[in-house]
Amino acid sequence: MTQTNRQWVLKSRPEGMPRRDDFELREQPVPAVTDGHFLVRNLYLSCDPTQRGWMERDTYAPAVAIGDVMRAVSAARVVVSKHPGYREGDLVCGAFGWQDYALSDGSGLFPIFKLPSGTAAPTGLSLFGITGLSAYFGMLDIGAPQAGDGVLVSAAAGSTGSIAAQIAKIRGARVVGIAGGARKCQWLTEEIGLAAAIDYRSENVRGRIVELLPKGCDVYFDNVGGDILEAALGRLARHARVVLCGAISTYNDREAATGPRNYVNLILRSATMRGFLVFDYAARIPEAVADLGRWAAEGKLKDQIDVAEGFESAPDALRRLFTGENLGKQIVHVAD
């Protein structure tokens, strides 16, 4: 085992887009393992838009303190254990942070879960991670798509969006994805088989929704907020369900968002709009993992993963979520 623990610590609170300079690379000794604790070696770090919020302010979790290791979920191997619940060799996911090694007593803000045997570590952060689970519960519990429904998904070539869109397709819905750029739109129709895709960077989103979903959206799964949310709210079918999963287009804004101006459409269409946090569904994770794993094994669901190489690349990999460079789940490979 290396005796050095590299850590990315938060140096400053971001203004707008997070910058590499907001972090500092530090080296510390690997912590000693005391009774009731276990030491993990991080293998892959997860990049999540919510980290932008953690860098700046208290949200559903307290802000990361300046000088602290950047909070992040990761997939890791237990390398030393003096804890009765964990054995050396276990593959676990938890909020172990941007560092090579982390000491844990098994508690913490986010539940630690052991990956089912035979699961590849990246899958623990994508299909079975926060994004896959959010897609599963947000789409099925709140969106509840029925066969023949028109379903619209934003950030559809991202991790949550691509899985949510495919789940709606599995349920027999006609699914239209929104993404930035021709390459992503082509991937949505040709690789994961959506009915159509809208390139919000070059096309008129409102006009294209009318064309592609002439009866309106029965479900809109929102990952981005802002103008795209407003465009979708303008085209709701009667009894539509709007799933508020995320609002990434607003995360770097310095002012609170105004709008959506047309929320009255929710009344006019007898529609519902509901937000959720994936942690609301912690007790039902085994059910989701079973379904998602089965659909992937049957070839009905593609789990697209985008890997950045090396611990040093973590801040740049996080930025890719906001520039839209990632296709599918953005992770960072730090060790084998």
Ligand X SMILES: NC(=O)c1ccc[n+]([C@@H]2O[C@H](COP(=O)([O-])OP(=O)(O)OC[C@H]3O[C@@H](n4cnc5c(N)ncnc54)[C@H](OP(=O)(O)O)[C@@H]3O)[C@@H](O)[C@H]2O)c1
**In the bound complex, what is the minimum distance in angstroms from residue 36's beta carbon to ligand X?**
30
**In the bound complex, what is the minimum distance in angstroms from residue 116's beta carbon to ligand X?**
21
Residues 116 to 155 in contact with ligand X, rule: CB under 6 A: 130-131, 134, 155
Residues 297-316 as x/- pattern, contact with ligand X by CB under 6 A: --------------------
Of the residues 224, 231, 292, 314, which one makes contact with ligand X according to CB under 6 A? 224
Question: For residue 181, what is the DSSP state?
Answer: S
Query: Where are the alpha helices (H) located in 57-181, listed in sequence order?
Result: 130-137, 159-170
What residues are paired with 92 via a beta bridge? 76, 114
**In the bound complex, what is the minimum distance in angstroms from residue 2's beta carbon to ligand X?**
30
Q: In 3D, which of 50, 73, 46 has the Cα closest to residue 62?
A: 50
Residue 159: phi, psi to the nearest 5?
-70, -60
Rule CB under 6 A: is residue 242 a binding residue for ligand X? no
**In the bound complex, what is the minimum distance in angstroms from residue 81's beta carbon to ligand X?**
29
Q: Which is nearer to ligand X, 77 or 320 (CB)?
A: 320
Q: Is residue 334 within 8 Å of 45, Cβ to Cβ?
A: yes
Side-chain-facing half-sphere of 336: CA atoms under 13 Å: 0
Residues 184-223 as x/- pattern, contact with ligand X by CB under 6 A: x--------------------------------------x
Q: Give the whole-angstrom CA distance, residue 222 versus residue 179.
A: 12
Q: Give the whole-angstrom CA distance, residue 25 versus residue 334.
A: 14
Residues that bind ligand X (CB under 6 A): 48-50, 130-131, 134, 155, 157-161, 179-180, 184, 223-224, 245-249, 276-278, 321-322, 324, 326
